[in-house]
Structure 1
Amino acid sequence: MSLFWRIFVLNAVVLGTATALLLWAPVTVSVPVLLTEAVILLGGLAVMLVANAVLLRLGLAPLDRLTRLMTTVDLLRPGQRLPASGGGEVAELIRTFNAMLERLEHERATSSARALLAQEAERRRIAQELHDEVGQTMTAILLGLKRAADEAPEGLRHQLCEVQEITRESLDEVRHLVRRLRPGVLDDLGLVSALTSLTEDFATHTGLRVVRRFATDLPALAPETELVLYRVAQESLTNAARHADAERVTVGLRHDDGSVVLTVVDDGCGITVPREGAGIRGMRERALLAGGRLEISAAPRTGTQVQLTAPAPGRQP
C-alpha cells in the first residue's frame, strides 16, 4: 500500500468511527449548545485527534528512523543500515537508501585506497630523496668540517667543532624524518621489528614509558595490511604524546580468531569530548583500506584505547 493510501485509510477509519458514533449514539445537539453536549463533542474531537496522531506516528515511524540515519551516517563507519520489510513506498525508499549507502561506502573505500597508496608512494619518494640527496650532502659537510677542524688553529677549531655538532644533530633529525616517512625496517624485517623500532624511537624522543606486548603466533600479513597497522600505531602514539598527558603507553599485537588486533592504550586524561580530528579520520580511512575495524574508547583505567582489528589471510573482511 502506498503512503498516500495508507494515510487516507487511517484518516478514513478515524473519521468513519467518529461519524458512526454520532449517528448511533444517543447524543443530540441543541441550539444553543448545552454544556454537556459541548463537553461530549470536544471530548470526541480530542479522542479523534489523538487516535489520528497515534496512527500517523506508527505509519510514518520508518521515515523518522530513515531521517535520523541520514543525518548521522558516517561513511567511515560502514554497515549502518535500516531493516526494510514488506512492500510500499516507505520500504522501497529504505531499500534504495541502503543500496545508495553501499555504493557510497564502496566508492569511498576505493577512492581512499587510491589516495593512501598515492600518499605512501610520495612519502617513499621524498624519503628516498632525503636519504640520497640531503643525507649524503650533510655527511660530506661533516667530513669537510672534520678535516677543516683538524687543520685549523685552536681558536677556530672550537667553533668548527660546534658547527660540526649542529650539523650532526641536523643529520640525525633528517634520518629520523626519513624513518617516519618510510620505515625501511618494515620492508626488510617485518611488522614486529618495525613496531619495536617505532616504540623505541618514540620513547627516546618523548620520554614516555612504552610497554610492548607482541604475540609470537602472528600470521603472515599482506604488505598493505602491515603498513596500515604500522601507520595506525604511529598516529596513536603521536596522539598520546600530544594530547593525552600520559606517562605510560602500552602497544599490543595479537592474533585473535583469524584477525590481527593492534591495541594502543595510554594512561592519560582519556576521552573528554567526542571529537575526531584529521588524525583519527585518517586512521579510520586506513582501517577501511585493510578491511579492518577501528574502535576508540576509554581505557579500563582512564586513558584512551585505540584498537584496530584487521583480517588475516584466509578470512574475508
Structure 2
Amino acid sequence: MSLFWRIFALNAVVLGAATALLLWAPVTVSVPVLLTEAVILVGGLAVMLVANAALLRLGLAPLDRLTRLMTTVDLLRPGQRLPAAGRGEVADLIRTFNAMLERLEQERAASSARVLLAQEAERRRIAQELHDEVGQSMTAILLLLGRVAGDAPQPLRAELHETQEITRGTLDEVRRLVRRLRPGVLDDLGLVSALTSLTQDFATHVGLRVTRAFDTDLPALPPETELVLYRVAQESLTNAARHADAEHVTVALRRTGDGVTLTVTDDGRGMRAAHEGAGVRGMRERALLVGGRLDITPSPGDGPGTRVLLTAPAAAPPVRKP
C-alpha cells in the first residue's frame, strides 16, 4: 500500500468509527447545546484525534526509523541497514537508501585506500630522503668534527666535542623519525619485531611503561594487514602519551580464530568525549581497508583508561588501488 492510501485508510478508519458511534449511540444534541452534550462531543473529538495520531504514528514508523538512521549513519561503521519488506513508497525509499549507503561505503573505501596509499608513499619518500640526504650529511659533519677536534687546542676541543654530541643526538633523532615514518624492521623482520621496536622506542623516549603480550603462533598476514596493525598501534601509543597522560600501556597481539586481534590498553584519563579526532578516524579507515573492525572502549576494570581493539582477518582483502 502506498503512503497516500495508507494515510487515507487510517483516517477513514477513525472517521468511520466516529460516524458509527454517532449513529448508534443514544446521544442527542439540543439547541442550544447543553453542557453535558458539549463535554461528550469534545471528549469524542479528543478520543478521535488521539486514535488518529496513534494510527498515523504506527503507519509512519518506518519513516521515523529511516530518519534516525540518516542522522546517525557513519560510513566508517559499515553494515547499518534497515529492513525493507513489502511494497510501496516507504519500502522503495528504504531500499533506495540502503543501496545508496552501499554505494557510498564502497566509494568511501576506495577513496580512503587511494589517500592512505598516497600517504604511505609520501612517508616512504620523506623517510628515504631523510636517510639519504640529511642522515649522510650529518654523518659527514660528525666525521669532520671528530677530525677537527683532534687537532684543536684544549678549550676549543671541549666545545667541538660538545657540538659533536649535539650533532650525534640530532642524528639519532632523525633516524628515529625515519623509523616512525617507514618502519624498515616491519619489511625485514616482521610484525612482532616491528611492534617490539616501536614499544621500546616509546618506552625510551616518551617514558611510558609498556607491557607486551604477543602470541607465538600468529598466522601469516598480508603486508597490508601488518602495516595497518603497526600504524594503529603507533597511533594508539601516541594518543596514550600525548592526550591521555598515561603512565602504563599494554600492547597485546593475539590469534583469534582465522585472524588476529591487536589490543592497546592504557591507564590514562579515559574517554572524555564522544567526538573522534582525525587520528581515530584514520585508524577506522585503515581497519576498513583490510576488512577489520576497530572498537574503542573504556579500559576493563574500575580504573580509568582506554582500550583500542582492532580485529583483522588473516586473509584480508587487497587494498584497493586507484
TM-score, with length taken from structure 1 = 0.98
- Match in the other structure for 2:306: 304
User: Deviations along 1:252-289, whole A, 9 cap, x unmatched?
Assistant: 00110111100000112211221210100010010011
Determine the structure 1 residue equivalent to 2:111. Answer: 111
CA displacement at 1:207 relative to structure 2: 1.2
Tell me, in whole angstroms, the C-alpha distance in 1 between the residues paired with 2:315 and 2:111.
23
Which residue pairs with 2:74 in the alignment? 74
Aligned counterparts of 1:286 and 1:116: Cα–Cα separation in 2: 8
CA RMSD of superposed structures (Å): 1.2
In 1: Cα distance, 2:272 partner to 2:254 partner: 28
Q: CA deviation at 1:308?
A: 0.3
Q: 1:137 aligns to what?
A: 137
| Secondary structure of the corresponding residue to residue 60 of structure 2 | helix
Contact 2:290 2:317 in 1 (8 A): no
Distance in 2, matches of 1:314 and 1:70, equals 29
How far, CA to CA, are the matches of 1:31 and 1:158 in structure 2?
Answer: 116
Hey, what's the Cα distance between the residues in 2 that align with 1:65 and 1:31?
A: 49
Is the CA contact (8 Å cut-off) linking 2:109 and 2:288 kept in structure 1?
yes
Distance of 1:120 and 1:307 partners within structure 2: 23
Task: For residue 314 of structure 1, report the CA deviation from its aligned partner.
Answer: 8.1
Contact 2:291 2:317 in 1 (8 A): no
Answering whether residue 231 of structure 2 is matched by residue 234 of structure 1, we say: no
Q: Which residue of 2 aligns with 1:25?
A: 25
Please state how far the C-alpha of 1:24 moved relative to its aligned partner.
2.1
| Cα separation, 2, equivalents of 1:89 and 1:313 | 41
AA aligned to 1:28 is T
Aligned residues: 316
Aligned residue number for residue 148 of structure 2: 148
Instruction: Give the deviation of 1:315 after TM superposition.
Output: 9.1
State the partner residue of 1:199: 199
String of CA shifts for 1:228-257, please: whole Å, max 9, x gaps. 000000000000001222221000001101
Structure 1 counterpart SS, 2:300: coil
Mapped partners of 1:306, 1:206: distance in 2: 19
Q: CA deviation at 1:86?
A: 1.3
State the one-letter code of the partner of 2:101: L
Residues 290 and 316, structure 2, Cα contact 8 Å, conserved in 1? no
| Counterpart position of 1:190 | 190
* Identity between Structure 1 and Structure 2 (%): 81
Unmatched runs of 5 consecutive residues or more in structure 2: none
Could you tell me how far 1:56 is from its partner in structure 2? 0.1
Which secondary structure state, in structure 2, belongs to the residue aligned with residue 93 of structure 1?
helix
SS of 1:167's partner is helix
Corresponding residue of 1:34: 34
Q: TM-score, normalised by structure 2?
A: 0.96
Residue 313 of structure 1 and its aligned partner are, at CA, apart by 2.3
3-state secondary structure, aligned to 2:78? coil
